[in-house]
Amino acid sequence: MPQVTEINVYPIKSCGRIAKDTAAVGPRGLDGDRRYMLVDENGRFVTQRQHPRMALIRVTELEADGYRIEAPGRPPLALPRSRDSGEEVVVTLWRSRVEATLVDDESSRWFAEFLGLPCRLVYMAEHQHRAVPNAAAQFDDEVGFADAAPLLLISQASLEDLNSRLPAPVSMRRFRPSLVVSAERPFAEDSWRRLRIGDVELEIGWSCARCVLTTVDPDTGVKDPGGEPLKTLRSFRKTDGGVMFGQNVIPRSFGRIRVGDRVEVVT
């Protein structure tokens, strides 16, 4: 039976991950996942697609219920885990127009100076909501600042298959999954429809179309000059919907999951 092998939380969209041994799953996915996001002067989201140096922004948890943010040449920045108040603005994430809370000027300046572009940091508070932007979702499904769905799942076997085709192997970090699971065969997750991990039930919604962000080396913040691994993925995983790798997932019941938990494929 498949097992959970990795749990990853990304507190700030398109910045570093926090690898977890256990995490709570709620309506928006993993607790604390992609609740912060950078936006430009027009309120549009900012990611590694245009600014690959974002890969160098590291995030670690602080004991005092917050985060420590680090980047080369910058002093550490502390951010609270959550925010209850602040000026509200409307920001744009793909086709979504979302209410968000502006973070203080000092924190925004930290990111702007590191990236070399005018930008602001925003936070999605509990009372601010974004609908899952896909026809496979139910009317009340919601998501934070993740691109598409509350969770992204990939099997380790799928990465191993891809790496067997690449000139040089890449790590799973290129694909920024929430959950990594074991599987008996590559791309087994393509055929899964409903999963149970402990008390948590998950619905596989749709395959994840991959983009140029996968070509950014998470250790250097530099795009691969040969366009890998996207170039190789395109040779055997391209469909009418794009180049597919991983599955977008929506929680249908909530609870806590742990690395090592069994993944029951219900359907």
Q: Dihedral, CA atoms, 98, 216, 218, 144, nearest 10 degrees?
A: 10
Residue 63: per-residue pLDDT: 81
Question: For 87-103, b where at least 16 C-beta lie within 10 A, e where not — what string?
Answer: eeeebebeeeebebbbb
10 Å CB burial of residue 244 (0-12, 13-18, 19+) is: middle
Which of 179, 188, 178 shows the shortest CA–CA distance to 158? 188
What are the distances in angstroms from CA 95 to CA 40, 60, 76, 147, 196?
16, 30, 33, 10, 31
Residue in the structure block whose two tokens are 């959950």: 179
Question: Which amino acid is residue 117, in one-letter code?
Answer: L
Question: Which amino acid is residue 237, in one-letter code?
Answer: R
85-123 tens-digit pLDDT: 899 999 999 999 999 999 999 999 999 999 999 999 999
d(C-alpha 262, C-alpha 2), whole Å: 6
Residue-level pLDDT, tens digit, the chain, 267 residues: 999 999 999 999 999 999 999 999 999 999 999 999 999 999 999 999 999 999 999 999 998 789 999 999 999 999 999 988 899 999 999 999 999 999 999 999 999 999 999 999 999 999 999 999 998 889 899 999 999 999 999 999 999 999 999 999 999 999 999 999 999 999 999 999 999 999 999 999 999 999 999 999 999 999 999 999 999 999 999 999 999 999 999 999 999 999 999 999 999
Q: What is the DSSP letter of 105?
A: H
Residue 247: CB atoms within 10 A of its CB come to 27
Give the domain extent around 68.
4-265
Q: How many domains does the chain have?
A: 1
Do residues 45 and 193 make contact, with C-beta atoms less than 8 angstroms apart? no
Residue 207: CB atoms within 10 A of its CB come to 19
Tokens encoding 230: 């996207």
d(C-alpha 30, C-alpha 36), whole Å: 14
What's the pTM? 0.96
Question: Which amino acid is residue 131, in one-letter code?
Answer: A
Q: What is the DSSP letter of 43?
A: S
Residue 85: per-residue pLDDT: 84
d(C-alpha 132, C-alpha 143), whole Å: 6
d(C-alpha 108, C-alpha 170), whole Å: 32
d(C-alpha 33, C-alpha 10), whole Å: 5
